[in-house]
């Protein structure tokens, strides 16, 4: 398996698991019957503040996964696989994990810097394909 595809699979799996912390928090706060209600029906907030930030980080990861997956797919279809694309994919994975943690913990400047690292990794992939 090409390293780009490995990192894409790892990133997609990680993104698919990012919902667990805020759903577990909701379950602890509302109980299983409360979790099964339609969101917004209860009078009390469904998640703690950190869990609300985790939810935002998850949504952001899903939004960015579309771009990342598209770029990795194009690199593979175009036959572009080199050290730069492999490194960019690895950096993207770790940046997304770091972004999720920093946003969930509410670390504003670090969150932005880590997000930027992930964006730069995407641009490296785009550059490798477009300059081919």
CATH of the domain at 61: 1.20.120.550
Is 118 within the bounds of a domain? yes
The backbone torsions φ and ψ at residue 28, rounded to the nearest 5 degrees and listed phi first, read -65, -40
Q: What is the rounded end-to-end Cα distance, in angstroms, of the chain?
A: 22
Is 43 within the bounds of a domain? no
Is 42 within the bounds of a domain? no
d(CA 109, CA 121): 19
Classify residue 56 as exposed, middle or buried by CB count within 10 Å of its CB (0-12, 13-18, 19+). Answer: middle
And the tokens for 81? 């696989």
Q: Is the torsion defined by CA of 20, 49, 58, 35 positive or negative?
A: positive
What domain range includes position 118? 3-36+48-130
Q: Which residues contact 108 (CB under 8 A, 6 or more apart)?
A: none
Rg of the Cα trace of the chain?
17
Is 30 within the bounds of a domain? yes
Is 99 within the bounds of a domain? yes
Judged against a pLDDT cut of 90, whether residue 39 lies above it is answered with no
pLDDT for 44: 64
Q: How many domains does the chain have?
A: 1
Judged against a pLDDT cut of 80, whether residue 41 lies above it is answered with no
pLDDT average, residue stretch 8-34: 92
Q: Please say whether the beta carbons of 99 and 91 come within 8 A.
A: no
Q: What is the pTM for the complete model shown? A: 0.91
Is 41 within the bounds of a domain? no
Is 17 within the bounds of a domain? yes
Is 72 within the bounds of a domain? yes
pLDDT tens digits for 93-120? 999 999 999 999 999 899 999 999 999 9
Q: Please say whether the beta carbons of 129 and 80 come within 8 A.
A: yes
């Amino acid at each position: 398996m090409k390293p780009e595809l490995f990192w894409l699979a790892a990133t997609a799996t990680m993104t698919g698991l990012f919902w667990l912390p805020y759903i577990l928090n909701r379950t602890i706060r509302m109980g299983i019957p409360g979790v099964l209600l339609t969101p917004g029906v209860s009078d009390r907030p469904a998640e703690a503040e950190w869990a609300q930030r985790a939810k935002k980080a998850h949504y952001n990861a899903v939004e960015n996964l579309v771009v990342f997956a598209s770029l990795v797919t194009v690199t593979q279809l175009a036959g572009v696989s080199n050290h730069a694309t492999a490194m960019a994919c690895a950096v993207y994975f770790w940046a997304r994990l770091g972004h999720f943690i920093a946003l969930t913990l509410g670390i504003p400047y670090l969150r932005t810097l880590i997000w930027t690292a992930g964006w730069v990794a995407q641009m490296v992939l785009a550059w490798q394909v477009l300059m081919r």
